[in-house]
Structure 1
Amino acid sequence: MTNTTFDYAVVGVGAAGLQLALKMIDDEFFKDKKILLLDKDEKTGNDRTWCFWEKGDTIWDSLATKTWGKGLFINSNECISFDLAPYKYKMLRSSDFYSYAKNKIQEAENITWVKDEVEKVGGHQITAASGSYEASHIFDSRIPEEFHKKKDKYHSLIQHFKGWFIETKEPVFDPETFTMMDYRLKWEGSTSFTYVLPLSKNTALVEFTLFNDQLLPDEEYDVFLKDYIKQYLKIDNYEINEVEQGLIPMSDYPFHKHHSQHISKIGTAGGWVRPSSGYSFKNADRYSTKMIENIRKGDRPEKGIATSRFRTYDSIFLNVLASRNDLGEEIFTRLYTKPKIQSVFRFLDEESPFREDIRVMFSLNRPQFWKAFLKTFWK
């Protein structure tokens, strides 16, 4: 396919690109628009798991692998339980999401999906391995090269993790309660914890996660997973049915500066990942909706996205963790236990009023936060 012209093109069809495409399908404004989706992968397997919280019934309920209404936060001294109501914590496997999205896309006569590797995007033009394409506006999910060159000038960490889907012969899990964070087993001097999502009484995802600036040798993640399962879950006999591994940039790098007249960056490349937590799926849902509203109004698609006061909060948060990564357990203990969990969810979803933001920020009361606050606002 060479020199084919479209109204809109989406480069990279992960969670952000697919959610944007789904919003276009559901909106009458785009019914007569030609839309191109470009990605080098078929998007058929389970390459990731998304978790998020929601209120009420949504379209994701039918696709969710599991939902929970109760959670645990565990630190070195105590185990704290919380009721999420009116929220539910939800787990969505990528294969289910991809299948749902591709079925809807195949039914849409105005959308073309092309498997191709994009090499360059500029102006209206997309250059790929198998040809070139043109679009009036391009939504690009590729992380800009400048980020890798300049990220050290900003507060930047990596959220990296490895998880095992395990199965036991005996019923050992409470399938109604998940563990948000368990800090009893840590990589020395780091913000690191274990995450447990029970799918049934005999199956669970157990994941060891770090928020710091260096990856571990692969076998080290395995050591922590084995130790956690033995020491804290008290499980000796189990099978590993599946393994997942990944990393997410956590940075206050100004991704929004890479928008241009005919190109809007989306996903991680557009700053859609919440830098202080790594949560992204609901952001992709919310920001895609905002982009559609902006386009209908004749505004820039990215207007008002990922540039709010919450990014300032994230910068303060990353400043502290980057300089004192050993404080992670104390910081997250304060975050998840001092305010009500519902306030935390609203804060992380960028839906909280300013007065509630202040209460959440005050719950993190440490000298490092006030120094970071002053540095951010009076630099």
Structure 2
Amino acid sequence: MQNDNHFDYLIIGNGLAGLQLALELSKDPFFATYTIGLIDPSEKSENDKTWSFWEQGRGKFDAVVEKVWHTAKFESPKISLTLLLKAYDYKTIRAIDFYNWAKNELSSKENFKFILDTVQEIKDSEIVEVIGEHQSYSAKHVFDSRVPKEFYSEQSHYTLIHQHFKGWVIETESACFQPEVFTMMDYRFQYKDSTSFIYVLPFSETKALVEYTFFTPFLVEDDVYETALKTYLKSEYNLSRFKILETEVGNIPMTDFPFWKYHTEHVTKIGTGGGWVKGSTGYSFKHTEKNVSKVIANIKAGKKPSHRLFKKKFKFYDKIFLKVLHDENEKGVWIFESFYSKNTIRTMFRFLDEETAFSEDLAIMKSLFSMAFIKAFFKVLFKP
């Protein structure tokens, strides 16, 4: 008799990583006979976030892309840049569109099963037991997107920058946005010399996502975001009246915490819980896509799913950058001024995508050369 709660693979968390992994498994004939469960306490029926990323040409998720831009702006008190993205497209996806599309794709697969439950405990052994609030499940291998509890209990030993933000999708009565140009960073509205900026994605002349984002070791009260958003809209667009269609809030950990240490033979950490968010930027969408491809290739090659997911040199670069932001947060605006004004789009995007050769890395390092980075380098290098 078949056990409906036993799977070849069980994916914990139907967020970006869990659903991307499930989609790729569903498309590969190698896994056609494998049973795969997806467990999450939420039905993913709300638009809880927006993912934006750059890529060249067509992508795997173009079916749910909300908007594409080819020109970006960077603003600071000292410089104003217009960045032509050339071969790259900057794309944005609403989470609800991704969730609905992924669920629709997977619901037609007989070997996939969605489970609405909260995981309370994992008992790791040759057959992994997953204890939920309502039932227990078992699997030959588990992909777990939950953040290890040690992240919270041992965080003082590592560097942590909070990428925290609040944004509004707003609609205006008259045309005021330039829909073909998005604002990557606007540092003219900093909070107390911190690394904080406005980010704008204009969907049309009358609709845009306007977000206030911090890269800081500290958090702020809600009114700080709202005051900045209102000030920005009034100053830049002469807007005092507008309709808020959606509100987006979040806090993405930018950290050098060693998430990869929490893989086991039968449990692979994925997503934020696996360190798939790039430590120095908080970017996750394309890094998730790449890691999913590596995981699947590893499985098919008979290796551990987590085999060589990360490039050590980029982890080291991230540590240095995080140390600068942590110790001298006011330097953030200078860092990004230098990064965007002294490098080509291709070099910058390749570096952030962790695709650069060392010669390209040197160009980035040269553009950011300063005493702050020298001090951070030695602090990281000689950290016990």
- With normalisation by structure 2, the TM-score equals 0.96
What amino acid maps onto 2:295 in structure 1?
M
- Give yes or no for the alignment of 1:108 onto 2:109: yes
Q: Percent identity?
A: 44
Residue matched to 2:86: 85
Q: Is the 8 A contact 2:11 2:143 kept in 1?
A: yes
Cα deviation, 1:241-286, whole Å, max 9, x if unaligned, reads 1111111001000000011111000001111000111110111111
Q: Is the 8 A contact 1:264 1:301 kept in 2?
A: yes
SS in 1 for 2:292: helix
Q: How far apart in 1 are the matches of 2:77 and 2:234?
A: 17
* TM-aligned CA distance change 1:329 to 1:95, over 3 Å: same
Residue matched to 1:285: 289
**Residue number among 253, 261, 264 corresponding to 2:265 in the alignment:** 261
What amino acid maps onto 2:270 in structure 1?
I
- Give yes or no for the alignment of 1:308 onto 2:309: no
Q: Is the 8 A contact 1:2 1:133 kept in 2?
A: no
- Give yes or no for the alignment of 1:188 onto 2:192: yes
SS in 2 for 1:158: strand
Residue correspondence of structure 1 range 98-177 to structure 2 within 5 A: 98-123=99-124, 124-177=128-181
- Tell me the CA shift for residue 16 of structure 1: 0.3
Cα deviation, 1:179-224, whole Å, max 9, x if unaligned, reads 0000000110310000011000111110000011222111221111
Q: Is the 8 A contact 2:151 2:257 kept in 1?
A: yes
**Residue number among 205, 208, 217 corresponding to 1:204 in the alignment:** 208
Structure 1 stretches lacking a partner, 5+ long: none
Q: Is the 8 A contact 2:161 2:217 kept in 1?
A: yes
- Give yes or no for the alignment of 1:321 onto 2:325: yes
- Give yes or no for the alignment of 1:16 onto 2:17: yes
SS in 1 for 2:237: coil
- With normalisation by structure 1, the TM-score equals 0.97
What amino acid maps onto 1:329 in structure 2?
V
SS in 1 for 2:147: coil
- Give yes or no for the alignment of 1:35 onto 2:39: no
Task: List structure 1 segments (4+ residues) > 3 angstroms apart after TM superposition.
Answer: none
Residue matched to 1:5: 6
- Tell me the CA shift for residue 44 of structure 1: 1.7
Structure 2 stretches lacking a partner, 5+ long: none
- Tell me the CA shift for residue 341 of structure 1: 1.7
Q: How far apart in 1 are the matches of 2:4 and 2:172?
A: 55
Q: Is the 8 A contact 2:79 2:337 kept in 1?
A: no
Q: How far apart in 1 are the matches of 2:7 and 2:85?
A: 44
What amino acid maps onto 1:274 in structure 2?
K
Residue matched to 2:348: 344
Cα deviation, 1:69-103, whole Å, max 9, x if unaligned, reads 00000011221001111001111001110011001
SS in 1 for 2:379: helix
Q: How far apart in 1 are the matches of 2:25 and 2:4?
A: 23
Q: How far apart in 1 are the matches of 2:150 and 2:311?
A: 19
Q: How far apart in 2 are the matches of 1:122 and 1:79?
A: 54
Measured on the aligned residues, the alpha-carbon RMSD in Å equals: 1.3
